[in-house]
Amino acid sequence: MSRGGRLATVALTTVFAASFLSARGEQPAVDGWRPFKASWTLSGTRQLLPTEGARPAAIIHLTGPLAVTGGEGLGRGFLGEVIGFDDGGTFIVGRAIFTDAKGDRIYGYLRTEPIGTGRKATGTITGGTGRYAGLEGSFDFAWQYVVAPESGEISGRIANIEGRTRQVPPPRSEAPR
């Protein structure tokens, strides 16, 4: 290979490596926020109660693997669990917990449109244990699909979770006087 060809190869390799490493080693913003992306597959049960409206009220309990597919500061895999309440109208809320392989947890809550394919939801991260102690954040998603036969079972997939997190230092405790 000619000297010019080698220089071009080195230059291209350097540019590629620099862009790859900078994308992989995302630094948090000045305020500490780190973006993330994830997907989540859920299944579980729902109990229905008829209402005066078109939709019944429901209590749901869903669990399933959540895979973090991009971002820094979080583990790559969690077991997610949600308990939620749908009033049969417009109010749907739930509590969520995400547990990693070491047993460290992330806590949060969800607010959503009626659960269904394409419906949107927002989540708020309210803290955690172990390496996630002091974690705060938020995320948004839309259901990719939801299957809810009359048997009381429910399953679904979310492929487009996008959010951000940051560690908040614990409050300083004052020394005893």
Domain harbouring 119, CATH code: 2.40.350.10
Q: Percent of the chain at pLDDT above 90?
A: 66
- Asked if the structure places residue 173 within a domain, the reply is no
Residues 111 and 130 in one domain: yes
Domain that holds residue 23: 1-28
- Asked if the structure places residue 95 within a domain, the reply is yes
Residues 35 and 107 in one domain: yes
Residues 82 and 142 in one domain: yes
Number of domains in the chain: 2
- Spatial neighbors of 139 by CB under 8 A, at least 6 apart, are 36, 38, 122, 123, 125, 161, 162, 163, 164
List C-alpha distances in Å: 49 to 14, 26, 87, 109, 142.
Answer: 62, 47, 9, 23, 25
Residues 44 and 18 in one domain: no
Residues 97 and 160 in one domain: yes
Residues 52 and 38 in one domain: yes
Residues 42 and 20 in one domain: no
Q: Where are the beta strands (DSSP E) in 50-174?
A: 57-71, 77-86, 92-99, 105-112, 120-128, 135-142, 145-147, 153-167
Mean pLDDT of all residues in 1-12: 36
> What pLDDT, on the 0 to 100 scale, is given for residue 115?
83
In the block, residue with structure tokens 């995302």: 26
From CA 121, how far away is CA 111, in angstroms rounded?
6
The predicted-structure confidence for 118-173, as pLDDT tens digits, reads as follows 999 999 999 999 999 999 999 999 999 999 888 899 999 999 999 999 999 866 76
From CA 162, how far away is CA 143, in angstroms rounded?
13
Distance of CA 167 to the CA centre of its chain: 16
Residues 43 and 115 in one domain: yes
CB 25 within 8 A of CB 34: no
- Take residue 46 and report the two structure tokens written for it: 């729902």
- Asked if the structure places residue 89 within a domain, the reply is yes
Residues 37 and 114 in one domain: yes
